[in-house]
Amino acid sequence: GENVEQHPSTLSVQEGDSAVIKCTYSDSASNYFPWYKQELGKRPQLIIDIRSNVGEKKDQRIAVTLNKTAKHFSLHITETQPEDSAVYFCAVRGYSTLTFGKGTMLLVSP
Amino acid sequence: GAVVSQHPSRVICKSGTSVKIECRSLDFQATTMFWYRQFPKQSLMLMATSNEGSKATYEQGVEKDKFLINHASLTLSTLTVTSAHPEDSSFYICSAGGSGTVSNQPQHFGDGTRLSIL
């Protein structure tokens, strides 16, 4: 089955800095790569996603890049704010089920 | 956008009780829904795929007789934790979208159910 590795497990940045979270996957047939943000005790919320026919996608301060050859994709958050603090999960989908990374706890200090 | 409703949000009950959790897709029909379990500070682990009108597909290591799934309509799937024990205490989350008839939609999650077995 699919194997998803996510790094780092924790990330501390100062407000205004950029944050980058990386994921690698194993199944070259995977074609959909979403990122979810989960605040404590709440549901994961989709923040951005990318499909395999696209190399980069941006939505305001958030961007995702995908390298299909190397089988890795990254989440980039610019101008971080304290409210960006949460756990971020990458995920990979091949046929129908999502496989999640282990998560990155992002802490943005004022 | 797509909305998934899940309840109850919190259940506290005695060991041996069976607990039913409902998951509804509110503005789209979902032939497939997914049930996840999340332990504290861990990732989401897929338990089973719920298929409308047919048997659920369980992931390896998940007891199908322990976690009963029923997907009787295109908008409702239920998960029943039978004879729950303290080790079943966890955060259970359902999701829908991203497969079947709505494969072009992202997968959206319900609010989750925090189950505590005393």
pLDDT at residue number B118: 94
Interface contact A93-B43, CB threshold 8 A: no
Interface A:B, Cβ pairs < 8 A: 50
A33: Cβ contacts below 8 Å, ≥ 6 apart: A23, A25, A49, A50, A51, A52, A64, A66, A73, A90, A91, A92, A93
Question: Is A100 at the interface with chain B, CB within 8 A?
Answer: yes
For A:28-67, CB contacts with B below 8 A are 32, 34, 36, 41-46, 49
pLDDT in tens, B51-79: 888 899 999 999 999 999 999 888 999 99
Query: For residue B101, is pLDDT > 60?
Result: no
A53: Cβ contacts below 8 Å, ≥ 6 apart: none
Q: Rounded to a whole number, what is the distance in angstroms from the first to the last CA of chain B? A: 38
Among partner residues A42, A98, A102, which is closest to B107 by beta-carbon distance?
Answer: A98
The confidence band for A1, taking pLDDT boundaries of 50, 70 and 90, is confident
Among partner residues B43, B100, B114, which is closest to A89 by beta-carbon distance?
Answer: B43
pLDDT at residue number B72: 82
pLDDT in tens, A62-102: 999 999 999 999 999 999 999 999 999 999 987 778 899 99
Question: Is B112 at the interface with chain A, CB within 8 A?
Answer: yes
